Structure 1
């Protein structure tokens, strides 16, 4: 089961809203959704996403700056459509996939229909991606430092991580209203 919520920091404190991620396809889309929830263009908005007992993610959007991301377990998140949108090449330290690579994958090598190709390695990109996926946290573990949750505390969070973060932010009650 998944849970997703937006926490917007306003002059009056934190405001929470639950959110549907069905129309969100990229991290950029998610950042736009967060910005839309802010009452002021410079407000800090946190996006909380969790898959029960498997992983959680925090995306921080400060005004028009690029979003900052923390994911508690990249390997678990990679098996989730919501997790995949957070696990960008940049976050994982990989080179962005080149469009030419996609064209090469189409097998446009001039072989006749029905003619078998010589078998190369059995390795596929998917196998490589999953085996190279870190099984622990990735991203900006200092994402909440200035809000009262240190990197050490963030890395030590357990099953109830989002509630613990909200408690430290003074937003536990507003988060509970959207749970």
Structure 2
């Protein structure tokens, strides 16, 4: 018998329309990259209006991805270090968001003497590079919801029931709760 704790995620898409917000519960099983998530958000869009993708792991962290038409997605994550320990968090923690140069990873792959001196190989599941730790706390565009009714100051202090608080500020708590 296992006493391991099951990690609970919640993900939803909120699409802005002429009549307000429309929410849909979303499955992230087929989402492997930020591009996949962005495509999913664009499919939910009405007339290239704003779509917000919410991802929450219990009370550990939450992320908001904002897609406005064909523009690059904007991302906010409440706790980067907690998200780095999550497969869904890893989708959002892009090299650009973390301020990393993706070519650095390529340089490490080309370096052939990485394990010759008896250094243990890094676990494949351990995605965080010891040389570049993911910072704890918020990361990304903290002004992501400013024009929608939630200020940066309000966003960065959220912890428990963050998505409910965001939905309340956006005026769509009933719509979000319907898919929760």
TM-score (norm 1): 0.86
Structure 1 residues 79-94: aligned runs within 5 Å: 79-94=85-100
Equivalent residue number for residue 140 of structure 1:
141
For residue 53 of structure 2, the aligned residue among 42, 47, 53 is 47
Structure 1 residue runs of 5 or longer lacking an equivalent are 110-115
Equivalent residue number for residue 20 of structure 2:
13
TM-aligned CA deviation for residue 90 of structure 1: 0.3
For residue 78 of structure 1, the aligned residue among 75, 84, 90 is 84
User: RMSD of the alignment, in Å?
Assistant: 2.2
Task: Work out the number of aligned pairs and report it.
Answer: 168
TM-score (norm 2): 0.86
Structure 1 residues 1-179: aligned runs within 5 Å: 1-40=8-47, 42-97=48-103, 100-101=106-107, 103-104=109-110, 107=112, 117-119=116-118, 126-128=128-130, 132-179=133-180
* 8 A contact 2:128–2:134 mirrored in 1: no
* 8 A contact 2:148–2:170 mirrored in 1: yes
Cα distance in 1 for residues equivalent to 2:138 and 2:169: 20
TM-aligned CA deviation for residue 38 of structure 1: 1.1
Cα distance in 2 for residues equivalent to 1:86 and 1:3: 15
TM-aligned CA deviation for residue 117 of structure 1: 3.4
TM-aligned CA deviation for residue 95 of structure 1: 0.8
Cα distance in 1 for residues equivalent to 2:31 and 2:117: 40
Cα distance in 1 for residues equivalent to 2:86 and 2:117: 34
- CA change 1:101–1:37 in 2 (3 A) is same
Structure 2 residue runs of 5 or longer lacking an equivalent are 1-7
